Amino acid sequence: MSDSSTTAARAALGVEIRHWRRACVDLGDLEVSASPAAWKELESYLGLNLRRSLTSVVVRLTAHADRALFSLKAAETVGELAAVRSELLMLRRRYSRAEAVIDFYGDAVNTRTNPVVASVLRGLDALAVYSMDQVLRPLNIDTPPALCYLDKGLGASILRAGARLWDSSLSPAAAIKITRHNLWQPTSLVHETGHQVAHLTGWTTELGTALYKALAPHNTLLAEVWRAWAAEVAGDVYAFALLGYAPVPALATVVDGPAQLVYRMLPGDPHPISALRVQFNVALCRSWYGAGPWDVLGAGWLARYPLGQAPREVAEIMAESMPLLPTIVDVCTRQPMQAFHGVPLAALADPRRLAPAELDRLAQRSGGSLYTSNHLQRLEPLRILALSVLRGLESQNTPTEMRTWLSRLGGERPIAA
């Protein structure tokens, strides 16, 4: 390569690297990703933690750009310029990944631009942390912060705290998607925090092994199937242990659909067959509470979706699983687990506290103070949530009491981050 070509190549590389360095610096302006008003709606610790994490992403990325500029300045040969070019391409790839991280969290924070929605989401943040704390605190495991955000779609989801992100950094909070249609019956929140708890305790793997051991004497293929479903089973069981029957109608609504969807079983899908998942949740309630409205829901699903509508393989799994559901419930809720320091989940989160009679007793004792008592708000937020969701099943309108209570739970006037 001639001197003029080398000079031109050096100049072109300089233009590109400086462009990407400016882009890296601009990525650090977090008020571009989310409005200042939305950032102020975060609880102080969560806001500081999140901003610190995202700023670290930008600092590392900008340092990479600076190294590329230094390498360009020092490069003298064609080979050294080629190495700078490779470093530039790596910088571009890292920028795209970092941009994905910051955009994800920016979009999540930006759902708090409306002050009313922001106060409700802060309440859900508090519920999420409380739901994890019930099991993690007795195990001496730190409870991570939670960032709830509103989004479209049918089902909730979680990006776990500590999960590896697109740029290989770690997620600073449990980011939990709350769907718009379920904002006023947000029981899926606890299913998602169950995933976080299962990850931190190692419960999922242990539960999968326990399910396999319990089912293998009956059918090894069935045992493998339930082991593969362990993660989602854990989420459903966790929601049941902390909310009782309340999550089941919402779950049935989300997984409902035409028969081919309800009986769909895709390779690698961690979710149980929808029709069987509903029956498993009904079995959880029946095992702990006896007869109740869950039986009506389960029978309705069996009548609506006869096994004859299912593909042969799915029908076989359904038929083999149904009589074994009580065994599966016992494994999930009553069997001691090393993940829980040798006790069953029910010893840490007792489903009996969510029995209909217990929720009725809570309502009677609290009277008109159910949604206004600071004492109840601190001690019984999950039982209040369960009771509110069950009450709301008969309502056609937005439950104003729930909205007001969630706003109070999150604090009406947050401390700016």
pLDDT at 22: 96
In angstroms and rounded to an integer, the radius of gyration of the C-alpha atoms of the chain is 25
pLDDT at 417: 38
pLDDT at 402: 86
d(C-alpha 311, C-alpha 219), whole Å: 19
What lies within 8 Å, CB to CB, of 97 at 6+ separation is 165, 166, 167, 168
pLDDT at 228: 98
Query: Which parts of the chain register pLDDT below 50?
Result: 413-417
The label of the residue with tokens 């040798």 reads: 342
DSSP strand pairing (157-159 vs 146-151): unpaired
pLDDT at 293: 97
CB 265 within 8 A of CB 317: yes
In this prediction the pTM is 0.93
Q: Is the C-alpha dihedral spanning 212, 217, 220, 225 positive or negative?
A: negative
Helices H / strands E in the chain, number of each: 21, 3
Q: Cβ atoms within 10 A of the Cβ of 178, count? A: 22
pLDDT at 412: 53
d(C-alpha 280, C-alpha 234), whole Å: 12
Using a 10 angstrom Cβ sphere, with 0-12 exposed, 13-18 middle and 19 or more buried, the burial of residue 323 is exposed
Give one DSSP letter per residue of 340-366, joined into a string.
GTTB-HHHHS-GGGGSHHHHHHHHHHH
